[in-house]
Amino acid sequence: MKKVTEWLASKEPRERLALITGSILLCLLLIYSLIVQPLVSGLNKREHLLEQQRETLAWMKQSAEEIKILKKFSSSRQSAGSKQSLLSTVDSTAKAARLREVIRRVEPQGNNQVQLWVEKAPFDPLLQWINTLQQRYAITVSSISIDRKEQGIVNARISLKN
């Protein structure tokens, strides 16, 4: 430090002022670029993230309301569709989907559950039939096991629940 003060003292007053001013400006620039700017940048990122999370929360609240409405609608459809028993609904819809002949065994398990064994069924119509049961009659698949036999042909074991 002594050498720096001696070197600075050897300079003209104008040069000394310029060197001191330059050193101070350099220190301020370093403080800004190493401390202030990263803090401001981080703060901006956090604000942007907070805004995104608020938008997501608003969307989730709106979706929750829609889900409640859809559940009420589904419950009313289910109660309207429950005039038929689960077994008769499965049978009539399988006939309509032309899948009745591939259902080898039907085993009722109480009033609101049935297990089916399907052999050599076309895969796409089988899935469309299951989708119809879920969408129109609020019958859900509690378990399913599908084995491929040939191209597009499957054997399946399906548990349906009302």
The DSSP secondary structure of 102-135, one letter per residue, reads GEEEEEE-SSSEEEEEEEEEEHHHHHHHHHHHHH
Tokens coding 154: 């499957």
Would you state the pLDDT for residue 67?
87
122 bridge partner residues: 153
Given phi > 0 = left and psi -120 to 50 = alpha, else beta, which region is 69? alpha
User: Whole-model pTM above 0.85?
Assistant: no
Residue 114's contacts (CB-CB under 8 Å, 6 or more residues apart) are 86, 87, 90, 106, 107, 108, 159, 160
Task: Provide the b/e sequence for 112-128 (b: ≥16 CB within 10 Å).
Answer: eebebebeebebeebee
Would you state the pLDDT for residue 75?
59
Show the low-confidence residues of the chain (pLDDT under 50): 79-82
Tokens coding 60: 């989730």
Would you state the pLDDT for residue 43?
96
Would you state the pLDDT for residue 77?
53
Would you state the pLDDT for residue 117?
95
Give the separation between CA 48 and CA 42, rounded to whole angstroms: 10
**Alpha helices in 34-153, H assignment, sequence order:** 37-81, 86-96, 123-137
Would you state the pLDDT for residue 83?
62
Tokens coding 119: 């052999």
Would you state the pLDDT for residue 131?
92
Would you state the pLDDT for residue 47?
97
Would you state the pLDDT for residue 4?
87
Would you state the pLDDT for residue 40?
95
